[in-house]
Structures are given as C-alpha cells and as structure tokens.
Structure 1
Amino acid sequence: MESKIYSRPRFCTTGKGYKNMPRNNRRYTAISIITIIVIAVITFVIITRAVNPIINDLCIDKAKNIATQISNDEATLIMNQYSYDDLITIVRDSNGNVKMLQTNTKNVNKIISDIPLNIINKFQEKNTSDIFIYLGSALGLKLFSAQGPKIHIKIANVGNVDTKLVSEFTSQGINQTLHRVYLNLSCEVTILTPYNTIKQMIENQVLIAESVIVGTVPDAYYDINLQK
C-alpha cells in the first residue's frame, strides 16, 4: 500500500498587496487617504482660528488678574508704612481756612519708586508654571468652563512699571471734602502660551491714601502731581 505524506494547500502570498490591487481601487484608496488628511488639516485650522482669540483673551484676563493682585498686595505692603499726613500737608491761613495742599516730595518719590520695584521682583519670584486655563473654557459654555486639559501660560519680560499719581476730591457734605490719592500703574508684559506670544499693556489703579479735609478746599490748590 502506497503511503501518502500529509500536505496542506499552499497559498501564494505574492500579488495580494496594495500593488496588486486593481488600478481603479488603488486610485480610489489614495484619493480617500488624501481627502481625509486634507479635511483633518482644514478642520484643525478652522478650529484653531476660532478658538485662538478666545484662548488669547482668557490668557490676558488671567495675566491681568494676577498683575492686579500683585500690584494691590505690594502697594498695601508699602503704604502700611505711611499715613496721609506723611504724604500731604494741609496748609491753612490765620483763620483756619484751607490755603493749599502741599506734597511731601521725598516720601512720594520713595513710594512711586518702591512700589513698581516690588511689583517687578514679585513677578520674577512667582512660579508662573502654576498659571493655567482650562481648554474647556475656550468653548464658551459654563458646563465645560473648568473641564478639559490645562493650558499653561507664563508671564515673562515684565517691562518698566510706569506710575502716575492722581488726586480725587469728593464733597462729603458742608465744609467736608474727601481727598483720595491714587497711584496709576501700567506696564507691558509678555504672555507665553503654547500657541502664541502675546504682548499686553496691563493697567491698574491703587488707592494709597485718603482723608477727610474739614473746610473749603480752594479751586486753586497744589495737587499730588505738584501742578497748580
């Protein structure tokens, strides 16, 4: 009896790949892949253009909030060392009427020098890696406002802090005037995001002194800017 060795059918593995597909099918597959890639790129560009302005605004708002908090804290820290009388002297005539308001130039100059310097130092000390916004906030929906991946931003290159002192007088009744002295602060900061670099001017106004003046304040007085 003739023995038979077991064997299995042999399959040809050549000719079944992409190269051996019918030409029409290969063309259709290539066009489909290219179409998908083009659609994906266009979709990404459209979404990026739509979301980027929102992300930029959120980053600017975040930077402004941080700058405002720092400037308020540093101004308060400095102004705890001074009182209204350390900055302003009320000069009266022989009858006790208010003649002028005189500025203590030495103290005022020190304040407008120390506060900006402290603000810049505080920015440099602050760990800006902890500053972020949620990507979900860019959708504009409250439901997703604190959802999604974190977008980390960094505040860098804080420029010179420009200062300007401003006086405000408000009537508080008969022969009483509330005098407030504000320090206007402005500086340009560079905000670094994963998608953009933003230069933004940040401004803030902090109250540094106030007092109620008893007596009529004349129309011609020397204000905090030493202007008549």
Structure 2
Amino acid sequence: MKKMMGRTIHRWKEKKLIISIVIIILFAIYVYFYIDNNIKPTLIALSEIKAKAVTTTAINDTIKSRLKNNISYDDLILIKYDNNGRATLVQANMMMMNTIAADVALEVQEQLGKLSANKVDVPLGNAFNRQMIRLPSIKLEIQPQGSVNVDFSTEFEEAGINQTRHRIYLIVMTDIRMIIPLTSETLRVTTNIPIAETVIVGEVPEQYISVPKEDTIDIIR
C-alpha cells in the first residue's frame, strides 16, 4: 500500500514538473510574440529617430566646421552682366564645388566612422510610454554603410520687386546600419544645409551653365 502511494506521489510530482515546464515554455513563447508584435516595432521606430538625429547632427557639425565662414556665394557662382547691368549668365564654379564636395565627403565619412565606436542610449520608458517609471535604456549602435554622396542644389525665389534670391544648398546622403538588441536595419539619412546666397537684381537669365537636371548640380563621391 505504501509502495503504491509512493508511486502515485512520484507520478504526480513528475506530472507537476512537466506541467510547469510546459507553462514556462508557453509563457516564454507568449512573451516573445508580445515583444515582437507590440514592443519591437516601437523600439525600432524610436531607434530610427535617434539614429537619424545623431547622424544628421554629426553631418551638420562636420559641414559647419569645414565651411565655417570661408565660403561665399562668389566662390561658387559667377554672374555675368551686360552693359545695362542686367544679369545675362549664372555660371557654377565646378572646380570649387568639386573640391568642397570631396573634402566634405571625406570628413563626413571620418566622423560617421567615429559614431560606431560609441553606442547611444535609447530609453525603454519611451517605448512603454511610462515616464513615471524609471526603465533601463537599450544600446543603439550606428555603423556607416558604403560611401557618402555629396550634391549641390540651388533654389530661386522672389525676394522683392524685380529681385530674386539665389540660394545654394549642400546635400549629404549616406546609409547607416542601426543595430539594437533583437534586430538591425539599414537607414538612409539625407541632410540639406544652405551654405551661400545672394539677391540677383532684375530677371534671372535663362542661361545657367553646369546644371544638368533642373537646377541641381550632382557631385557624388
């Protein structure tokens, strides 16, 4: 009788152990899918915003440091006038633009390389929308992918009666690899910074040299 009771108790303990293991496995599966479906997308979105913000800041700081106040509109664009003082030709200084594009591309590439050495904190509290609860942060790693593309673009806009503002932009585009726990993604980051401008008095001439498509000058490195 005692042996039978002992066997029954032993079997019951085995069943309890099996049931406990099954419950733990099911709970782990539930947690995995909950995180994958509810928390992971939010973390990815937050990390994307953070990664783009950090990268854009690094690019902008590099451009501002490189150019400072050393570049003027006259360094980039030559405007020719007729005897009546009317602008007849707007010509891009392609040699200067190529030099700037090459220098900026190299310096931006170098600065982005430094980003991968330091991981960025992304607060988990933002993902759960719990500002009152102090949650840990996840580590975000940013790695540059491929080369840095540097373009120039121009914009014409009215600046008053018979006046046109001509603004020059430097456009930097690059791909980065965003790495966080559970996933990683490749993102494209583009930043657009005005670097010079002037006001042209009179009509803007139809001749605008070195602008292959619309009013964009492409210099890609």
- Residue by residue over 1:58-105, the C-alpha shift from the partner in whole angstroms, topping out at 9 and shown as x without a partner, is 111111111211121122222222111111111111111010111111
Max radius of gyration: which structure?
1
5+ long unaligned stretches in structure 2: 215-221
Higher strand share: 2
Residue of structure 2 equivalent to 1:214 = 201
1:71 equivalent in alignment to 2:59: yes
Q: How many residues align?
A: 210
Q: Which residue does the alignment assign to 1:178? A: 165
For 2:121, the equivalent position in structure 1 comes to 132
User: Following the alignment from structure 1 to structure 2, what is the Cα–Cα distance between the partners of residues 147 and 62?
Assistant: 19
Cα distance change of structure 1 residues 226 and 43 upon mapping to structure 2, 3 Å threshold: closer
Q: 1:19 to 1:63 in 2, by over 3 A?
A: farther
Mark the CA change 1:47 to 1:130 in structure 2 (over 3 Å): closer, same or farther: closer
**Residue 37 of structure 1: how far off its partner (Å):** 2.7
* Amino acid paired to 1:148: L
Pair 1:120 & 2:109 matched? yes
Identical columns (%): 30
Structure with bigger RCO (C-alpha 8 Å, 6+ apart)? 2
**Pair 1:143-2:128 in alignment:** no
Cα deviation code 1:96-150 (max 9, x no counterpart): 10101111111111111111211110112346434110111111x2625x94111
Shifted more, 92-101 versus 23-32: the winner is 23-32
Shift, 1:224, TM fit: 6.0
Correspondence for 1:225: 211
Distance 1:223 1:205 in 2: 22
What is the TM-score with the length of structure 1 in the denominator?
A: 0.82
| Structure 1 unaligned residues grouped into runs of 5+ | 1-14
Given that 1:155 and 1:189 are in contact with CA atoms closer than 8 Å, whether structure 2 keeps it comes out as yes
Q: What's 2:179 paired with? A: 192
SS at match of 1:95: coil
- What do the CA deviations read for 1:5-30 (whole angstroms, capped 9, x no partner)? xxxxxxxxxx8xx9661535642442
